[in-house]
Amino acid sequence: MRFDDKIALVTGGASGIGKATVMEFARCGAIVICADIDEKKGAEVVAEAGKSNFAVEYLPIDLAESASIRRSAAAILAQHPRIDILVNAAGWNDLQPFVDNPPDYLERVIAINLNGTLHLTQALLPAMIAAGKGKIVNISSDAGRVGSSGETTYAAAKGGVIAFTKSLAREVARNSINVNCVCPGPTDTPMLQSRPENLRAAFLKAIPFRRFAKPQEIADAVLFFASSRSDYVTGQVMSVSGGLTFAG
């Protein structure tokens, strides 16, 4: 797949699945905007990409703050004529029983995982509508499809991303804009590595392939939805979980 002359923006692009997606888009010829709150890691991604002559820029953004999102969106649209591909990849949560979730934790999980996606997409969508084309790929989670103990608020937010994907796909189909969703299962990212060893072992035992996904494998699914190969696909949800979940 080639993305020459395409401009892609990836949130959470400084690490994990987001970084893998940034680098793969760049490898395939796109100009990529790595949007992340972590300026140090963002600079590292740009430097790493530069060694291969990849076109990657860093955009500071705080997805927990709607004002920050709107400022960042305005800044990028002032710099670039359009955004062809938007990948809402950022995510954050912690493992704890729902009954123990403090109010500020509830608000932050919903803000980063759902509201941030809503605000950024809304800010960038008018330019896509004006262009009469565009690809939006939301990264949810299998937690949002089938639930996950200890991640109830996160599952609620990611379930919202799935519903948002399907509804928005209906609204913007007339503008030739595709909106699809990738739901990773357990993936070998810094977030997973921070989980207790016994939990990671339980995941491995439950996954039919007996291994975690590589971030690159999630990026591959994202690039399919962003490519011309999926021009007649919209409103769809793809689980990439090594067979861990089969529920619809």
Q: What is the mean pLDDT of residues 23-33?
A: 98
Question: What pLDDT digit, counting tens, does each position of 38-58 carry?
Answer: 999 999 999 999 999 999 999
Q: What does the pLDDT look like over 178-189, one tens digit per residue? A: 999 999 987 777
Reported as a single tens digit per residue, the pLDDT across 69-107 is: 999 999 999 999 899 999 999 999 888 999 999 999 999
Point out the catalytic residue in the list 58, 105, 154, 232: 154
pTM of the shown model: 0.92
d(CA 61, CA 143): 25
DSSP-derived secondary structure letter, 72: H
Spatial separation of the C-alpha atoms in residues 9 and 15, rounded to whole Å: 14
The torsion region of residue 188 among left (phi > 0), alpha (psi -120 to 50) and beta comes to beta
Per 3-state DSSP, the chain is made up of helix, strand and coil in percentages (nearest 5) of: 50, 15, 30
**Residue located via tokens 């939805």:** 225
Fold of 7-236: Rossmann fold (3.40.50)
232 is catalytic: no
State residue 193's pLDDT score.
Answer: 65
For residue 237, give both structure tokens.
């949800």
Closest listed residue to residue 215, CA positions, set 40, 3, 14, 9: 14
How far is 7 from 22, CA to CA, in rounded Å?
A: 11
Residue 149's SS3 state is: coil
Q: Could you tell me the residue ranges of all domains in the chain?
A: 7-236
Q: How much is the pLDDT for 188?
A: 75
More confident residue, 196 or 97: 97
